A and B are shown apart, each in its own frame.
Chain A
């Protein structure tokens, strides 16, 4: 008996004439995440994608784990494929569902017949399959309202499929269908979550990290790469630019009033990020800021940092509490890495009493105390790129 994986599109089914583009992107992402697990045939029909392994011993569990992380999927499951003949279906369903049915007491059967040429109606198929299962598994009872498990038999154009239950997919839109944006990532808890949330809506990710050796270490850089590789399990490959930031930071610390340090630093980061984004075709910047979390994330502070860029700045966690952000970071498995205790570019120079209600004018005056333009441009030029995931 042949086993396959069935994947149901999410929102994509609602798209109009563009649907093909979305489906193509989804299939491409599925292909790339399953790469290396073994040869498969991927086909689509009736807003379902079918993955059919070409050889025995396909690592289904591993494959399902990976598919779970692909955006644009509403639900997915393992299923047995068989001939469209009721006798074959009845014969195959009993042994195939053994594992799934042994741990439950109640079930129901749902039949779907999209091939209307099949001689039995859906209720007839359900009745026959339910009967066969009851006859072979004496501990089972039918419960049509609250079954512990739903057995589904689908008779499609291509074949008949038998499955028990299905898993929730990651939802969202396929990555690659919504343009490119760059996440500013320091190594904390929030930025990987922000990146993940935007990727969920189909955005292709670039990442920008500011490194200030010796104030920050190689370990902090490794930490960022580790975080991005976790996000990349969902988003696919991320292009990371590491910006040498030491000289600029030292100069700000030297020339500008202490209480403006973080604000000016963030404005410089935004300027550099915008230039990098323009070079790589990113249409927006993404940050992990949340209103009021720290001094540089008050509303007036955010206004002063946004003022130096013309690109839109997306902050998907802006209205979330720390607990809520942490919950997602645990879900996407970045939390444990985020809390590793290395200095990052934001902790070393922190002023004792940062400004919490700055104005744009004040920031401009503080910046006017040195010629930052050559330093910004140098940082852009000296940025080193690599691909993660």
Chain B
């Protein structure tokens, strides 16, 4: 949309030209089925293989450790259900956090109903998870630790690199799953230093298109499939590969700017925005100081999130009132952080990309100033 100021890059991102062109080329010219034996099928397979290569390069892992799925949620479900099945002889205990994305929490809740014991690590008031609590939560009979690298609502960075040590101390054989949907492309990820066994990423959060995600599965782990059928993706994920979306995934990864450079650029935008927000005496920043700069969660006290969101929409500014997956409901992440109703009900999430400009931030701040003309919410 022309003139749109898109400050909701954790919900999704604008596909980069490279991704859009790669997808279009796959749709128009390489529409073969990668499983077909003739050369035209092989051409489609080549697209998938080279996208796999790009992702492996970025994650510093082997190509045969990358499995394509349809989205981040599918990667998470596959990882969680697969991991507990593999560890079923070692115990029935799972460790996760209370601020995971619903695509992690819901599968785990399902397992809880089926008899698994789950420890949910609680965040502090800044959205951080403590390493000590993590260490004391894991047990010899823990079979899975699932933790997000970056929280999608407040941007806090979780101590995922400490999981391995914690498990070793308790001589637990638990598998480590890291949901990197909000971290991939924004923070340098090295699967071996993280000690990850399973790791989820998604294409449309990094300027790819919707319809492709991937799961890293460490070599040697024989994860059982979640979707069965024709045996694609070495049997882990049957179903004809979404070649256009995968082509765009590969192209988007290849087109990512240098991570450190982009991080610095976005940090400047984040600082600029935080400074600008100081003029409002009713703004409280909910994101912790050490959060990723890509996400800035704030409360505009006295005004309801949804009202503000639609008010900003009139100036063609897109922000989120929580995560896009929980539209309308008060944020459980903020509640878990122990924030009071007035802050939860007036929360907005801004999320930036390397392409966000200070002009866009200025436009946001100007529009927000106009919001004081709205009727204050008297109820709280």
| A215, A254, A352: the one within 8 Å of B307 (CB) | A215
- Contact assessment for A217 and B375 in the assembled complex, using a CB-CB cutoff below 8 Å: no
B residues 211-265 in Cβ contact with A at 8 Å? none
Q: DSSP class of A's interface residues: helix, strand, loop or mixed?
A: loop
- Contact assessment for A341 and B310 in the assembled complex, using a CB-CB cutoff below 8 Å: no
A254 and B378 alpha carbons, distance in the complex (Å): 11
- Contact assessment for B314 and A214 in the assembled complex, using a CB-CB cutoff below 8 Å: yes
Does A340 belong to the interface (CB within 8 Å)? yes
B308 partner residues in chain A, CB cutoff 8 A: 214
Does A294 belong to the interface (CB within 8 Å)? no
A249 and B374 alpha carbons, distance in the complex (Å): 11
Interface 9-mer from A53-61, A85-93, A311-319, A342-350: A342-350
| B310, B327, B377, B378: the one within 8 Å of A214 (CB) | B310
A residues 328-384 in Cβ contact with B at 8 Å? 340-343, 348-352
A250 and B309 alpha carbons, distance in the complex (Å): 18
Residue from A258, A340, A341 with most neighbouring chain B CB atoms (10 Å): A341
A215 partner residues in chain B, CB cutoff 8 A: 304, 307, 310, 374-375
Does A253 belong to the interface (CB within 8 Å)? yes
Q: DSSP class of B's interface residues: helix, strand, loop or mixed?
A: loop
- Contact assessment for A341 and B329 in the assembled complex, using a CB-CB cutoff below 8 Å: yes
| Residue tally, chain B, CB below 8 Å to A | 17
CB distance from A210 to the nearest CB of B (A): 15
CB distance from A263 to the nearest CB of B (A): 15
Does A165 belong to the interface (CB within 8 Å)? no
B313 partner residues in chain A, CB cutoff 8 A: 214
CB distance from A334 to the nearest CB of B (A): 18
Does B116 belong to the interface (CB within 8 Å)? no
A residues 220-274 in Cβ contact with B at 8 Å? 249-250, 253-254, 258
B81 partner residues in chain A, CB cutoff 8 A: none
Does B276 belong to the interface (CB within 8 Å)? no
Does A281 belong to the interface (CB within 8 Å)? no
A250 and B377 alpha carbons, distance in the complex (Å): 11
- Contact assessment for A342 and B375 in the assembled complex, using a CB-CB cutoff below 8 Å: no
A153 and B362 alpha carbons, distance in the complex (Å): 79
| Residue tally, chain A, CB below 8 Å to B | 19
Q: Closest chain A residue to B379 by CB distance?
A: A350
- Contact assessment for A343 and B304 in the assembled complex, using a CB-CB cutoff below 8 Å: yes
B328 partner residues in chain A, CB cutoff 8 A: 340-343
CB distance from A267 to the nearest CB of B (A): 18
Does A123 belong to the interface (CB within 8 Å)? no
A287 and B307 alpha carbons, distance in the complex (Å): 26
Q: Given known contacts A340-B328, A341-B327, A343-B304, is B311 in contact with A214 (CB within 8 Å)?
A: yes
A217 partner residues in chain B, CB cutoff 8 A: 306, 309-310
A119 partner residues in chain B, CB cutoff 8 A: none
- Contact assessment for B307 and A214 in the assembled complex, using a CB-CB cutoff below 8 Å: yes
| B304, B309, B314, B327: the one within 8 Å of A348 (CB) | B304
- Contact assessment for A258 and B310 in the assembled complex, using a CB-CB cutoff below 8 Å: no
- Extra 10 A-B pairs, beta carbons < 8 Å, given A214-B308, A249-B375, A250-B375: A213-B314, A214-B313, A214-B374, A215-B307, A217-B309, A253-B375, A341-B328, A343-B306, A348-B307, A348-B377
- Chosen A-B contacts, 7 in total, with CB atoms closer than 8 Å, are A214-B310, A217-B306, A217-B309, A217-B310, A340-B328, A342-B306, A349-B375
